[in-house]
Amino acid sequence: MKFDIYDFSVLTASIHKSLSEMMSETAVMITEMVIVGIIFLTLFAVLGLALVYAERKVCAFFQQRLGPMRVGFWGTAQTVADAIKLLLKEPLMTKSADKFLFNLAPFIIIIASFMAIAAVPFALGLQTLDLNIGVFYVTAVSSIGVAGILIAGWASNNKYSLIGAMRSGAQIVSYELSVGLSLLTIVILTGSLQFSEIIESQREGWWIFRGHIPAFIAFVIYLIAGTAETNRGPFDLAEAESELTAGFHTEYSGMKFAFFFLAEFVNMFIISAIGATMFLGGWMPLHFGELTAFNEIMDFIPPIFWFLGKTAFLIFIMMWFKWTFPRLRIDQLLTLEWKYLLPINLINILIMAFVVLMGWYF
Amino acid sequence: MKAIINYIKEVLSGVKTLINGMKVTGYYISHPKEIITQQYPENRDTLKMVDRFRGEVIMPHDENNEHACTGCQACEIACPNGSIEIIQDRILNEETGKKKKTILKHVYHLSMCTMCNLCIPACPTDAIIMGQGFEHSVFDRSQLTKVLNKPGSKLRDGVEE
């Protein structure tokens, strides 16, 4: 295959080899962990800045506005200025807040995003944790974030925060089901929970094309439920500016507020990345069965760009959702999940199992 | 069975309405030329206000420094919040020997004006109109009290007939 020249495992293996020559095995492991941690920290910062800028621009263009234009070329330095402002702000705390939990909550949310992003396959050989239960791991770890939201709401000692946190809890408990089941629909096709194998199984074509109707339904359900998982509009009841001022992060300011903000955008990236991996083939280039010439041209584009492109596409769709639809009420939210998404998902999984059993996919 | 058909219909119509909404915003993002935001200080030279914009009351003068205001006070009466004050004068008409009302100062308090446009149709001689200017900020409040007739200006002949 052509794209094997972009294999990152050559690079990582050489780093590992040179480190092993210098120090003992334990020291090598610790050094590598620190390197990976620093890379992810940088990635978080870059993602936060880039996605906030993208969000503001996309939102503006959806509303026939221009968005930030003043700081830097087309407002590109606007998010940097905002980040500096947040860093310099005073971290306020209410007098009657539970101080320990109040300070702990933002870290729980960030840690949950950290753990989830570890399993994301960025490119060939560029994946931190390739667990044999990768899909299960991501769904399990990403729901730790709701604990952070609940703690933040509870520790703030504020009615609005608590209502927001409780809504968020109800929402994530419900929508976790749909995310899990729609991912399972693809797992039926691949027969594996390991991300590297799932990507490898899409060498001939992405599952959204090969699995046709049931895969497409699962994809749509995943997008809706994934948007709900990240607490983004139209499912942003946990924040609901017009009702709860800012929901669970009403009382937060400065860097702790920035953590919540960052976690929201990183979670959006993770949900899109997992969606891209499961349905759109991850870093695998676009291949169509017998068109060898076409496939070879596609192979020249490095896998990391395929991955980022697909993820950006899904992020754009989630932004499209956010800036088109009005916010749901809590009862509408739960009706959508329990009366519509879940039954459709269950039937869809049955259909997919039947399709796989009969071999009716490409 | 009927319930299931209704359920499927509900889902399909729901999806249809969602796609309709996304079509509207999709149209907006795919037509960046229709953006209505203007970059104000940068486009100051080319900025064109809409015709019906009401910025301030102005009194047009022609090239002979003549205006059409007879000092009849119709605008002062029409103004709901007293933004217009007319200070009159009486001059002697030499031919007839009668004293005649004329305008000394047409005082306009921009700070009180709500741009309600009631003075403009009240004027019988169309002496005042609504201007397009909107950059009204000044450093001192007293600068907002303006005298609309220019110094040395006089009534245009033939307006009073």
Cα angle: A66, vertex A271, A109; to 5 degrees: 95
Q: Is residue B25 less than 8 Å (CB to CB) from chain A?
A: yes
Q: Which residues of A touch B24 (CB under 8 A)?
A: 324
Q: Say whether pLDDT at A282 is over 80.
A: no
ipTM higher than the 0.90 cut: no
Residue A317 domain-assigned (yes or no)? yes
Residues 6+ apart with CB under 8 A from A358: none
Do the Cβ atoms of A75 and A297 come closer than 8 Å?
no
Is the Cα dihedral A31, A34, A38, A44 positive or negative? Answer: positive
Q: Residue B83 carries which side chain, given as an amino acid letter?
A: S
A310, two tokens: 């697909």
- Number of Cβ within 10 Å of residue A293's Cβ equals 7
Instruction: Report the C-alpha dihedral over residues A231, A235, A241, A242, rounded to 10 degrees.
Output: -170
B122, two tokens: 């009240």
A296, two tokens: 């070879």
Average pLDDT, chain A: 84
Query: What does the pLDDT read at residue A25?
Result: 80
Query: What does the pLDDT read at residue A329?
Result: 83
Q: Is residue A14 less than 8 Å (CB to CB) from chain B?
A: no
Helix or strand or coil: residue A237?
A: helix
**How many whole angstroms separate alpha carbon B54 and alpha carbon A202?**
64
Q: Say whether pLDDT at A1 is over 60.
A: no
A133, two tokens: 């239960």
- Number of Cβ within 10 Å of residue A193's Cβ equals 18
The number of residues making up chain A comes to 362
- Helix axes B2-30 and A303-322, enclosed angle (nearest 10): 110
Residue A245 domain-assigned (yes or no)? yes
Residue A66 domain-assigned (yes or no)? no
Helix or strand or coil: residue A340?
A: helix
pLDDT tens per residue across span A292-316: 777 777 777 778 888 888 899 999 9
Across the range B130-157, mean pLDDT stands at 85
Pick B22's closest partner by Cβ from A58, A320, A340: A320
Q: Say whether pLDDT at A350 is over 70.
A: yes
| Structural domain boundaries, residue A321 | 94-358
Residue A288 domain-assigned (yes or no)? yes
The count of CB pairs under 8 A between chains A and B is: 37
Average pLDDT, chain B: 85
**How many whole angstroms separate alpha carbon A350 and alpha carbon A101?**
43
Helix or strand or coil: residue B70?
A: coil
**How many whole angstroms separate alpha carbon B82 and alpha carbon B88?**
16
Domains contained in chain A, number: 1
Most B CBs within 10 Å, among A324, A335, A338, to test the B interface:
A324
Higher pLDDT, B96 or B119: B119
Q: Is residue B28 less than 8 Å (CB to CB) from chain A?
A: yes
B25: distance to nearest CA of chain A, Å?
5
pLDDT tens per residue across span A86-104: 888 887 877 887 888 888 8
**How distant, in Å, are the alpha carbons of A66, A157, A358, B21 from that of A183?**
37, 37, 20, 27
Residue A16 domain-assigned (yes or no)? no
Element holding B112 (H helix, E strand): none
Q: Please tell me the pTM assigned to this model.
A: 0.81
pLDDT tens per residue across span A182-214: 888 888 888 888 888 888 888 777 888 777 888
Element holding B103 (H helix, E strand): strand B99-109
Q: Is residue B4 less than 8 Å (CB to CB) from chain A?
A: no
Residue A328 domain-assigned (yes or no)? yes
Residue A247 domain-assigned (yes or no)? yes
Residue A270 domain-assigned (yes or no)? yes
**How many whole angstroms separate alpha carbon B26 and alpha carbon A62?**
7
**How many whole angstroms separate alpha carbon A342 and alpha carbon A339?**
7
Q: Which residues pair with B146 in a beta bridge?
A: B108
Is the Cα dihedral A199, A205, A206, A208 positive or negative? Answer: negative
Q: Say whether pLDDT at B84 is over 70.
A: yes
Neighbour-count burial of B30, counting CB atoms closer than 10 A to its CB (0-12 exposed, 13-18 middle, 19+ buried): exposed
The number of residues making up chain B comes to 161
Cβ separation of B25 and A66 shorter than 8 Å? no
Confidence of residue B16 (pLDDT cuts 50, 70, 90): very high
